[in-house]
Amino acid sequence: MRVYLFAVLHDRPTSWACDPGNWTHARPPMPMPDQSTLSRRLQRPGVARLLTMLLDELEEADPARGPGAIVRRIVGKPLPVARHSGDKQATFGRGAGGLAKGYKLHAVYAKSNKPTAFAVMPMHIDERRVAERLLAEAGPGYVLGDANYHATRLFDAAEANDQVLVAPRRKARGRRPPQGTGSRPQSRARLAMIDRLEGPDPFVRQLLATRRQVETYFANLCNFGGGLSGLPAWVRGDRVVPWVTGKIGIRLARDRHQASVAA
Protein backbone atom coordinates (compact mmCIF):
# COMPACT_ATOMS: atom_id res chain seq x y z
CA MET A 1 0.00 0.00 0.00
CA ARG A 2 2.83 2.39 0.77
CA VAL A 3 4.42 1.80 -2.64
CA TYR A 4 1.09 2.27 -4.40
CA LEU A 5 0.33 5.55 -2.62
CA PHE A 6 3.85 6.75 -3.44
CA ALA A 7 3.01 6.22 -7.12
CA VAL A 8 -0.37 7.98 -6.74
CA LEU A 9 1.23 10.96 -4.96
CA HIS A 10 3.77 11.47 -7.74
CA ASP A 11 1.34 10.72 -10.62
CA ARG A 12 3.50 7.86 -11.81
CA PRO A 13 2.77 4.23 -12.72
CA THR A 14 3.38 1.51 -10.16
CA SER A 15 6.41 0.27 -12.10
CA TRP A 16 8.09 3.63 -11.39
CA ALA A 17 7.34 3.38 -7.66
CA CYS A 18 8.79 -0.15 -7.54
CA ASP A 19 12.23 1.21 -8.44
CA PRO A 20 14.11 2.12 -5.21
CA GLY A 21 16.14 4.66 -7.19
CA ASN A 22 13.05 6.87 -7.49
CA TRP A 23 12.62 7.20 -3.72
CA THR A 24 15.01 10.14 -3.55
CA HIS A 25 13.25 11.96 -0.68
CA ALA A 26 11.87 8.99 1.24
CA ARG A 27 13.14 5.68 2.53
CA PRO A 28 11.78 2.85 0.34
CA PRO A 29 10.30 -0.25 2.00
CA MET A 30 12.51 -3.29 2.07
CA PRO A 31 12.13 -5.70 0.46
CA MET A 32 10.63 -3.76 -2.41
CA PRO A 33 7.81 -5.67 -4.20
CA ASP A 34 8.16 -6.10 -7.92
CA GLN A 35 5.58 -4.57 -10.21
CA SER A 36 3.72 -7.80 -11.02
CA THR A 37 3.30 -8.61 -7.32
CA LEU A 38 2.04 -5.12 -6.60
CA SER A 39 -0.49 -5.16 -9.45
CA ARG A 40 -1.77 -8.59 -8.46
CA ARG A 41 -2.28 -7.64 -4.82
CA LEU A 42 -3.99 -4.37 -5.70
CA GLN A 43 -6.83 -6.41 -7.22
CA ARG A 44 -7.65 -8.09 -3.91
CA PRO A 45 -10.83 -6.94 -2.10
CA GLY A 46 -8.81 -6.28 1.05
CA VAL A 47 -7.04 -3.39 -0.65
CA ALA A 48 -10.30 -1.48 -1.13
CA ARG A 49 -11.20 -2.06 2.51
CA LEU A 50 -7.76 -0.92 3.63
CA LEU A 51 -8.03 2.27 1.58
CA THR A 52 -11.43 3.01 3.14
CA MET A 53 -10.00 2.41 6.62
CA LEU A 54 -7.18 4.80 5.76
CA LEU A 55 -9.64 7.57 4.87
CA ASP A 56 -11.48 7.06 8.16
CA GLU A 57 -8.21 7.21 10.08
CA LEU A 58 -7.11 10.43 8.38
CA GLU A 59 -10.37 12.29 8.87
CA GLU A 60 -10.43 14.72 11.74
CA ALA A 61 -12.52 13.49 14.69
CA ASP A 62 -14.99 16.37 14.63
CA PRO A 63 -18.70 15.46 14.40
CA ALA A 64 -19.48 18.74 12.67
CA ARG A 65 -17.11 17.82 9.84
CA GLY A 66 -18.09 14.21 9.35
CA PRO A 67 -21.09 11.88 9.60
CA GLY A 68 -22.69 14.01 12.34
CA ALA A 69 -23.14 17.08 10.10
CA ILE A 70 -26.73 18.12 9.45
CA VAL A 71 -26.20 19.64 5.97
CA ARG A 72 -24.63 17.76 3.08
CA ARG A 73 -24.17 18.48 -0.60
CA ILE A 74 -24.26 15.98 -3.44
CA VAL A 75 -22.52 16.49 -6.78
CA GLY A 76 -20.74 14.69 -9.61
CA LYS A 77 -17.32 15.40 -11.12
CA PRO A 78 -16.48 14.10 -14.63
CA LEU A 79 -13.18 12.26 -15.07
CA PRO A 80 -12.77 12.26 -18.85
CA VAL A 81 -10.38 10.19 -20.92
CA ALA A 82 -9.46 10.47 -24.59
CA ARG A 83 -12.33 9.65 -26.93
CA HIS A 84 -10.19 7.15 -28.80
CA SER A 85 -9.32 5.27 -25.59
CA GLY A 86 -9.75 1.50 -25.78
CA ASP A 87 -10.86 1.31 -22.14
CA LYS A 88 -13.97 -0.90 -22.22
CA GLN A 89 -15.26 0.44 -18.89
CA ALA A 90 -15.05 4.09 -19.95
CA THR A 91 -18.30 5.21 -21.59
CA PHE A 92 -19.80 8.30 -23.20
CA GLY A 93 -22.05 10.45 -21.08
CA ARG A 94 -22.73 13.92 -19.77
CA GLY A 95 -19.44 15.62 -18.99
CA ALA A 96 -18.40 19.22 -18.37
CA GLY A 97 -19.88 21.30 -21.18
CA GLY A 98 -21.14 18.42 -23.30
CA LEU A 99 -20.61 14.80 -24.28
CA ALA A 100 -17.48 13.16 -22.92
CA LYS A 101 -15.98 9.72 -22.48
CA GLY A 102 -14.66 8.42 -19.19
CA TYR A 103 -15.83 8.12 -15.60
CA LYS A 104 -17.54 10.28 -13.02
CA LEU A 105 -16.88 10.78 -9.32
CA HIS A 106 -20.17 11.00 -7.42
CA ALA A 107 -19.79 12.35 -3.89
CA VAL A 108 -21.67 13.63 -0.86
CA TYR A 109 -19.74 16.18 1.21
CA ALA A 110 -20.45 17.67 4.64
CA LYS A 111 -17.76 19.95 6.14
CA SER A 112 -14.65 17.91 5.46
CA ASN A 113 -12.51 17.08 2.45
CA LYS A 114 -13.47 13.45 3.11
CA PRO A 115 -16.77 12.61 1.38
CA THR A 116 -19.36 11.05 3.66
CA ALA A 117 -20.14 8.79 0.70
CA PHE A 118 -18.72 8.51 -2.82
CA ALA A 119 -18.61 6.25 -5.86
CA VAL A 120 -16.73 6.20 -9.16
CA MET A 121 -18.84 5.02 -12.08
CA PRO A 122 -18.68 5.03 -15.90
CA MET A 123 -19.75 8.35 -17.39
CA HIS A 124 -23.08 7.14 -18.77
CA ILE A 125 -24.51 6.06 -15.41
CA ASP A 126 -27.30 8.45 -14.39
CA GLU A 127 -26.35 10.58 -11.38
CA ARG A 128 -29.79 9.94 -9.89
CA ARG A 129 -29.23 6.17 -9.85
CA VAL A 130 -25.94 6.58 -8.02
CA ALA A 131 -27.47 9.14 -5.68
CA GLU A 132 -29.94 6.57 -4.33
CA ARG A 133 -27.02 4.46 -3.12
CA LEU A 134 -25.12 7.44 -1.72
CA LEU A 135 -28.12 8.73 0.21
CA ALA A 136 -28.35 5.41 2.02
CA GLU A 137 -24.75 5.89 3.20
CA ALA A 138 -24.81 9.62 3.94
CA GLY A 139 -26.80 9.79 7.19
CA PRO A 140 -29.78 11.96 8.23
CA GLY A 141 -30.08 15.69 7.60
CA TYR A 142 -30.49 18.09 4.68
CA VAL A 143 -29.02 17.07 1.30
CA LEU A 144 -28.54 19.87 -1.23
CA GLY A 145 -28.48 19.10 -4.95
CA ASP A 146 -29.03 20.83 -8.28
CA ALA A 147 -32.01 20.34 -10.60
CA ASN A 148 -30.56 17.10 -11.96
CA TYR A 149 -31.39 15.44 -8.64
CA HIS A 150 -35.02 16.56 -8.71
CA ALA A 151 -36.66 13.13 -9.13
CA THR A 152 -39.53 11.46 -7.33
CA ARG A 153 -37.57 8.34 -6.46
CA LEU A 154 -34.78 10.41 -4.91
CA PHE A 155 -37.19 12.34 -2.71
CA ASP A 156 -38.67 9.02 -1.56
CA ALA A 157 -35.20 7.56 -0.95
CA ALA A 158 -34.18 10.62 1.07
CA GLU A 159 -37.32 10.50 3.18
CA ALA A 160 -36.72 6.79 3.89
CA ASN A 161 -33.25 7.71 5.22
CA ASP A 162 -34.49 10.56 7.46
CA GLN A 163 -33.18 13.14 5.00
CA VAL A 164 -34.66 16.23 3.40
CA LEU A 165 -33.62 16.51 -0.23
CA VAL A 166 -33.44 20.14 -1.35
CA ALA A 167 -33.34 20.25 -5.16
CA PRO A 168 -35.15 22.72 -7.47
CA ARG A 169 -37.25 21.79 -10.47
CA ARG A 170 -35.64 21.97 -13.88
CA LYS A 171 -36.05 25.33 -15.55
CA ALA A 172 -38.32 25.52 -18.57
CA ARG A 173 -36.73 26.29 -21.92
CA GLY A 174 -37.66 29.37 -23.88
CA ARG A 175 -41.04 30.87 -23.04
CA ARG A 176 -42.73 27.63 -22.07
CA PRO A 177 -44.33 27.60 -18.62
CA PRO A 178 -42.43 25.90 -15.76
CA GLN A 179 -42.50 22.13 -15.82
CA GLY A 180 -45.40 20.66 -13.91
CA THR A 181 -45.45 17.71 -11.57
CA GLY A 182 -46.70 15.25 -14.19
CA SER A 183 -49.71 12.95 -14.21
CA ARG A 184 -48.11 10.01 -12.38
CA PRO A 185 -48.26 9.54 -8.61
CA GLN A 186 -45.83 11.95 -7.00
CA SER A 187 -43.66 11.80 -3.92
CA ARG A 188 -45.16 13.65 -0.97
CA ALA A 189 -41.69 14.93 -0.12
CA ARG A 190 -41.18 16.22 -3.66
CA LEU A 191 -44.45 18.16 -3.70
CA ALA A 192 -43.68 19.61 -0.27
CA MET A 193 -40.23 20.76 -1.40
CA ILE A 194 -41.68 22.41 -4.52
CA ASP A 195 -44.06 24.37 -2.30
CA ARG A 196 -41.23 25.40 0.01
CA LEU A 197 -38.78 26.41 -2.72
CA GLU A 198 -41.34 28.25 -4.85
CA GLY A 199 -43.43 29.58 -1.95
CA PRO A 200 -42.85 32.12 0.82
CA ASP A 201 -40.44 29.94 2.86
CA PRO A 202 -36.98 31.65 2.66
CA PHE A 203 -35.10 29.04 4.71
CA VAL A 204 -34.69 26.31 2.07
CA ARG A 205 -33.90 28.88 -0.64
CA GLN A 206 -31.12 30.35 1.47
CA LEU A 207 -29.92 26.85 2.29
CA LEU A 208 -29.90 25.85 -1.38
CA ALA A 209 -27.86 28.95 -2.21
CA THR A 210 -24.97 27.43 -0.23
CA ARG A 211 -24.87 24.30 -2.41
CA ARG A 212 -22.08 25.70 -4.57
CA GLN A 213 -19.75 25.40 -1.60
CA VAL A 214 -19.34 21.79 -2.69
CA GLU A 215 -17.18 23.03 -5.57
CA THR A 216 -14.63 24.04 -2.93
CA TYR A 217 -14.16 20.41 -1.90
CA PHE A 218 -13.53 19.32 -5.48
CA ALA A 219 -11.13 22.25 -5.87
CA ASN A 220 -9.29 21.16 -2.72
CA LEU A 221 -9.02 17.68 -4.20
CA CYS A 222 -7.34 19.00 -7.35
CA ASN A 223 -5.48 22.26 -6.68
CA PHE A 224 -2.17 21.04 -5.23
CA GLY A 225 0.80 19.02 -6.40
CA GLY A 226 -0.25 15.38 -6.22
CA GLY A 227 -3.97 16.18 -6.40
CA LEU A 228 -6.58 14.66 -8.68
CA SER A 229 -5.75 16.68 -11.77
CA GLY A 230 -7.08 13.98 -14.10
CA LEU A 231 -6.72 10.31 -14.97
CA PRO A 232 -3.26 9.46 -16.34
CA ALA A 233 -2.99 7.23 -19.40
CA TRP A 234 -2.16 4.18 -17.27
CA VAL A 235 -5.20 4.57 -14.98
CA ARG A 236 -8.06 2.79 -16.70
CA GLY A 237 -10.62 0.13 -15.88
CA ASP A 238 -10.26 -1.40 -12.43
CA ARG A 239 -7.40 0.97 -11.60
CA VAL A 240 -9.63 4.06 -11.54
CA VAL A 241 -11.38 3.53 -8.18
CA PRO A 242 -8.23 2.88 -6.09
CA TRP A 243 -6.48 5.79 -7.82
CA VAL A 244 -9.27 8.24 -6.95
CA THR A 245 -9.50 6.85 -3.41
CA GLY A 246 -5.76 7.28 -3.02
CA LYS A 247 -6.01 10.92 -4.14
CA ILE A 248 -8.69 11.58 -1.53
CA GLY A 249 -6.44 10.00 1.10
CA ILE A 250 -3.53 12.20 0.06
CA ARG A 251 -5.73 15.29 0.39
CA LEU A 252 -6.74 14.24 3.92
CA ALA A 253 -3.12 13.51 4.85
CA ARG A 254 -2.22 16.99 3.65
CA ASP A 255 -5.00 18.47 5.80
CA ARG A 256 -3.81 16.53 8.83
CA HIS A 257 -0.22 17.65 8.33
CA GLN A 258 -1.22 21.31 7.94
CA ALA A 259 -3.35 21.12 11.09
CA SER A 260 -0.45 19.66 13.08
CA VAL A 261 1.92 22.36 11.84
CA ALA A 262 -0.57 25.09 12.70
CA ALA A 263 -1.01 23.65 16.20
pLDDT (tens digit, 9 = 90+) per residue, 26-65? Answer: 999 999 999 999 999 998 888 889 988 998 888 764 444 5
Which residues, 6+ apart, have CB-to-CB distance to 109 below 8 Å?
Answer: 72, 73, 74, 75, 115, 116, 214, 217
Mean pLDDT of 235-258: 93
Q: Which segment of 17-21, 162-166, 175-179 scores lowest on mean pLDDT?
A: 175-179
C-beta of residue 239 within 8 angstroms of C-beta of residue 131: no
**143 vs 263: which has the higher pLDDT:** 143
- Tell me what percent of the residues of the chain surpass a pLDDT of 90: 67
C-beta of residue 193 within 8 angstroms of C-beta of residue 165: yes
pTM for the model:
0.88
Residue 172 confidence (pLDDT) above 80? no
C-beta of residue 66 within 8 angstroms of C-beta of residue 108: no
Which pLDDT score, from 0 to 100, does residue 62 have?
44
Give the DSSP H or E segment for 96: none
pLDDT in tens, 128-161: 999 999 999 988 999 999 999 999 999 999 999 9
Which pLDDT score, from 0 to 100, does residue 58 have?
86
Tell me the residue type at 207.
L
End-to-end CA distance of the chain: 29
Long-range contacts of 216-223 (CB under 8 A, 24+ apart): 217/107, 217/109, 217/113, 217/115, 218/75, 218/77, 218/107, 220/113, 220/251, 221/113, 221/247, 221/248, 221/251
Which pLDDT score, from 0 to 100, does residue 63 have?
43
Which pLDDT score, from 0 to 100, does residue 178 have?
55
Which pLDDT score, from 0 to 100, does residue 129 have?
94
**173 vs 127: which has the higher pLDDT:** 127
Which pLDDT score, from 0 to 100, does residue 185 have?
74
Mean pLDDT of all residues in the chain?
Answer: 89
